[in-house]
C-alpha cells in the first residue's frame, strides 16, 4: 500500500484530497500545521474530518473495503504570526470582503501568507521521510482567483525536485512525489468530485473568520459558495 502524507487544513480542498487518497487505497498520514493563523476554528474541522475517516463518527462512506487506511492526525506548530505580512497571521490587517471575481484576480491578496506552502511542504517532507511515505498530497489549486504564487504547477515541480535532493530516502532512490490532484480543477469540479466520494463537506471550514458561522463575504467564502452553486448543490455549513 502506498503511503501518503496529506496536508490538511480542514477546508474544502484539502478534505477533498483526503477523500481522493482514501478512495485510491492510500495509507494516509494526515498532517496539520498550526501556523499562528488568526483563528482556531479550522483546526476543529481538521480533527472532525480525520475522526470521520477513522470511523469514529457516523459515516456515509460506501463499503470501506474499497478505501485506504487513515492514520491518526499529526499536528505541528509553527508560528508564522511572528513574521506577519498577511491578514491571516496579523489581526491588525483587515480581511478583504465583498470583492467580486475581477477584484480577486487583480493582484495577489493580503491573505497570501509569505512562504506558507514552502514551509508546509518542508515539514511534510520531513514527516514523509520519517514515515517512509512515497507521496505528499496538497490541495493547491492554481485556478483559484486568489492567485497565490505557491499554488502553481511550477512551484510544486520545483519543490518535488528539491525534496529528492534534500532527503536521505531521495538520494537512495526512493522518489518522493508531490501530488496536487486539484491543481487544474475549478471549485465546482472539486466539489462534484468530492460529492462522488462522500467527502464530509458539512465538517469543513473555509472562512477566513473564526466565528460560529461562516461570514459569506470573504474571498474564500465567496469562492466556495460560487463553487457549490455552479456544482448544482448547496453548501452544508451554516452562514450568518
Sequence-separated (6 or more) residues with CB below 8 Å from residue 63: none
Sequence-separated (6 or more) residues with CB below 8 Å from residue 232: none
Q: Indicate the pTM of the whole model.
A: 0.93
Query: How many angstroms separate the CA atoms of 219 and 153, rounded?
Result: 22
pLDDT at 213: 95
pLDDT tens digits for 187-225?
999 999 999 999 999 999 999 988 889 999 999 999 999
User: Strand 3-7 and strand 27-34: pairing?
Assistant: parallel
pLDDT at 58: 59
Contact in structure between 235 and 188 (CB atoms under 8 Å): no
The total number of residues shown for the chain amounts to: 240
Least confident among 43-52, 58-67, 195-204 = 58-67
Angle at 193 between CA 146 and CA 33, to 5 degrees: 55
Domains annotated on the chain, with CATH? 3-230 (3.40.50.620)
Does the structure show a pLDDT above 60 at 61? no
Amino acid at each position: 500500500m502506498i503511503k501518503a502524507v496529506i496536508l490538511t487544513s480542514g477546508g474544502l480542498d484539502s478534505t477533498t484530497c483526503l477523500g481522493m487518497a482514501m478512495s485510491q487505497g492510500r495509507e494516509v498520514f494526515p498532517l496539520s500545521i498550526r501556523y499562528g493563523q488568526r483563528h482556531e476554528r479550522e483546526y476543529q474541522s481538521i480533527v472532525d474530518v480525520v475522526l470521520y475517516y477513522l470511523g469514529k463518527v457516523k459515516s456515509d462512506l460506501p463499503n470501506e473495503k474499497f478505501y485506504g487506511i487513515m492514520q491518526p492526525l499529526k499536528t505541528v506548530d509553527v508560528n508564522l504570526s511572528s513574521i506577519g505580512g498577511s491578514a491571516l497571521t496579523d489581526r491588525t490587517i483587515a480581511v478583504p470582503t465583498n470583492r467580486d471575481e475581477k477584484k480577486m484576480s487583480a493582484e495577489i491578496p493580503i491573505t497570501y501568507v509569505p512562504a506558507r506552502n514552502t514551509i508546509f511542504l518542508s515539514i511534510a517532507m520531513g514527516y514523509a521521510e520519517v514515515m517512509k511515505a512515497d507521496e505528499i498530497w496538497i490541495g493547491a489549486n492554481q485556478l483559484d482567483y486568489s492567485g497565490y504564487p505557491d499554488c502553481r504547477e511550477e512551484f510544486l515541480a520545483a519543490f518535488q525536485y528539491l525534496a529528492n535532493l534534500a532527503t536521505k530516502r531521495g538520494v537512495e532512490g526512493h522518489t518522493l512525489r508531490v501530488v496536487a490532484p486539484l491543481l487544474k480543477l475549478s471549485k465546482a469540479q472539486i466539489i462534484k468530485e468530492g460529492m462522488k466520494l462522500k467527502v464530509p463537506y458539512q465538517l469543513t471550514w473555509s472562512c477566513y473568520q473564526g466565528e460560529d458561522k461562516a461570514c459569506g463575504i470573504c474571498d474564500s467564502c465567496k469562492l466556495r459558495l460560487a463553487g457549490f452553486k455552479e456544482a448544482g448543490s448547496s453548501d452544508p455549513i451554516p452562514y450568518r
